[in-house]
A and B are shown apart, each in its own frame.
Chain A
């Protein structure tokens, strides 16, 4: 695979110090990148270098270091703008995470909502693109509606059309670009066209997409796009909200504080232009430096190449997992319009139990509802296991996953109590 495509996964792995971790006698198989990704040395170094040599507050510090920090921060903004194809850096707002970005959307767009208005989301949303809209609807009297999913785990567009989900009452449509549970990649451009046809604003949660595939916000059809830094080999503590500039310019502030103002008097204030209007308080400066380094790193490999690698891994994992007895895959079982995130259940074994056993064999997966409880309810289950791949994932790690799943299944269903059996049937 790597010979044909020139994708050298071993060279990439060498950039990530943590990937050489061992768990007892087993090498670590980190399959929890949809939760958070690991960091290459260049990102770790960029953050350390900032603190060691350029640290000061931004904008308000006028001395030499203050200028360096400001340049680094605003330079990072421009770098992220380029990474996602934004028309200009001022369309990029730095927040603490994607959840804050989506809360900003729900609050500022919520200020325009009232009884009779409708907000449309989907049943596959992460709680961060669900609860903020519930709260906005509770505050304003608007109605929350949602796309269902098909049994295969795709958005049920036909059902939505039948029931007139998006209609003249719709003011906001907010859906995920890629599901954090099912791996499904949604046809956002098509949904955005439906939203715009009725004059609604289109919000996209791209937390599981921007790290995994080329995303061009100017071609997506969306008006607002939120994602997070730590899932794209960047630091924790920074999330990005991109918005069409003319829309951002219309929106009221979200959080109040330093740097988001123009003039403050005791009885009222005027506010800065975007993006600073939405960046109250000291922003994530070192995190922005690290995120810019992450963007450099990912572009150095190429987002298209990363997406192709993930497709290859997803293909391999889906084939291996679907051959296992007692295993049910949630979501598309073909590596088409899906990421390398695969959730599944094992008959008779609770995900937490399986996870503990798999963890002891070095296989790090997530067990639970993955902040998507309504989606699990939709599939009639309480929780699931999730293995998620990224640019550094190897086929050997997928083999380790499959062995660990079989081991956990047999342990709890009483088929065997001995370790190490059952290997060697994979490709």
Chain B
């Protein structure tokens, strides 16, 4: 594949004008991801209302692929449930790891189909996954945070310490 074709207009547009960028308060989880080989860095916050993702805010430095992919990801997952977002993550990851074999459903994935070309260039797969990996990590962290000691009620060992690190909204910036 031609490298120029990898850089589709959709990618360049998102790179020049990132959607939902900036860090906002009132979040349920905050994670940092880096790509040690190039130094790209991303801080991402997940904002939830119950099970629904109300916002994804982020601050990132990186290449056009990682920046655009993060921007596209926020468009896709905001308004979805955590479970739906996890499904989107898995589908996108499968496509990125397939060396161009797996295609995305355009209805479901919208602008994210533009990254099918990137999947053929192994060196850049990590760039396209950076934002999605951060999203996945933030969803896991949010789940852990909401795993409050309530569950110990049914535990056979009531003396076991409750899980630590449960944090309320926005109090750990």
Binding site for B on A (CB under 8 A): 350-353, 356-357, 359-360, 367-369, 373, 376, 382-383, 411-412, 414, 417, 419
16 contacts between A and B (CB under 8 A): A350-B62, A352-B124, A356-B121, A356-B123, A360-B4, A367-B38, A368-B37, A369-B39, A382-B39, A382-B40, A382-B41, A382-B61, A383-B38, A411-B4, A412-B12, A412-B64
Q: When A350-B62, A350-B63 are in contact, do A356 and B39 touch as well, CB less than 8 Å?
A: no
Partner of A353, one of B2, B41, B61, B64: B64
B112 CB-CB contact with A under 8 Å = no
B127 CB-CB contact with A under 8 Å = yes
In the A-B complex, list the 10 residue pairs whose CB atoms are closest, starting with the nearest: A360-B3, A350-B63, A352-B63, A368-B38, A369-B39, A383-B39, A353-B64, A353-B63, A382-B39, A382-B61
B31 CB-CB contact with A under 8 Å = no
Binding site for A on B (CB under 8 A): 2-4, 6-7, 12, 37-41, 61-65, 121, 123-124, 127
Which residues of chain B are near A351, meaning CB under 8 Å?
Answer: 38, 63
How close is A80's CB to chain B, nearest CB, in angstroms? 31
Which residues of chain A are near B7, meaning CB under 8 Å?
Answer: 353, 357, 411
Which residues of chain A are near B127, meaning CB under 8 Å?
Answer: 352
In the bound complex, how far is the Cα of B39 from the Cα of A352, in angstroms? 10
Q: 18 new A-B pairs (CB below 8 Å) besides A352-B65, A356-B6, A411-B4? A: A350-B64, A351-B38, A351-B63, A352-B62, A352-B63, A352-B127, A353-B63, A353-B64, A356-B123, A356-B124, A359-B3, A360-B2, A368-B38, A369-B39, A373-B39, A376-B39, A382-B41, A414-B12
Q: When A350-B63, A356-B123 are in contact, do A369 and B38 touch as well, CB less than 8 Å?
A: yes
Do B3 and A357 touch across chains, with their CB atoms under 8 A apart? yes
Which residues of chain B are near A376, meaning CB under 8 Å?
Answer: 39
B118 closest partner in A (C-beta): A356
How close is B7's CB to chain A, nearest CB, in angstroms? 7
A358 closest partner in B (C-beta): B3
Which residues of chain A are near B37, meaning CB under 8 Å?
Answer: 368
Pick the most buried of B7, B61, B63, B64: most chain A CB atoms within 10 A of its CB.
Answer: B63
How close is A405's CB to chain B, nearest CB, in angstroms? 15
In the bound complex, how far is the Cα of B12 from the Cα of A373, in angstroms? 27
In the bound complex, how far is the Cα of B124 from the Cα of A376, in angstroms? 22
Which residues of chain A are near B65, meaning CB under 8 Å?
Answer: 352-353
Which residues of chain B are near A414, meaning CB under 8 Å?
Answer: 12
Which residues of chain B are near A411, meaning CB under 8 Å?
Answer: 4, 7
Which residues of chain B are near A412, meaning CB under 8 Å?
Answer: 12, 64
In the bound complex, how far is the Cα of B121 from the Cα of A353, in angstroms? 12
Which residues of chain A are near B61, meaning CB under 8 Å?
Answer: 382
In the bound complex, how far is the Cα of B99 from the Cα of A317, in angstroms? 37
B37 closest partner in A (C-beta): A368
How close is A363's CB to chain B, nearest CB, in angstroms? 12
Do B38 and A419 touch across chains, with their CB atoms under 8 A apart? no
Pick the most buried of B4, B39, B41, B123: most chain A CB atoms within 10 A of its CB.
Answer: B39
Pick the most buried of A351, A352, A414: most chain B CB atoms within 10 A of its CB.
Answer: A352
Which residues of chain B are near A382, meaning CB under 8 Å?
Answer: 39-41, 61
How close is A130's CB to chain B, nearest CB, in angstroms? 15
Which residues of chain A are near B6, meaning CB under 8 Å?
Answer: 356
In the bound complex, how far is the Cα of B2 from the Cα of A417, in angstroms? 13
Which residues of chain A are near B40, meaning CB under 8 Å?
Answer: 352, 382
Which residues of chain A are near B64, meaning CB under 8 Å?
Answer: 350, 353, 412
How close is A379's CB to chain B, nearest CB, in angstroms? 13
In the bound complex, how far is the Cα of B4 from the Cα of A368, in angstroms? 21
How close is B57's CB to chain A, nearest CB, in angstroms? 21
B61 closest partner in A (C-beta): A382
Which residues of chain A are near B3, meaning CB under 8 Å?
Answer: 356-357, 359-360
A407 closest partner in B (C-beta): B4
In the bound complex, how far is the Cα of B38 from the Cα of A360, in angstroms? 19
How close is A86's CB to chain B, nearest CB, in angstroms? 36
How close is B5's CB to chain A, nearest CB, in angstroms? 10
Which residues of chain B are near A383, meaning CB under 8 Å?
Answer: 38-39
Which residues of chain B are near A367, meaning CB under 8 Å?
Answer: 38
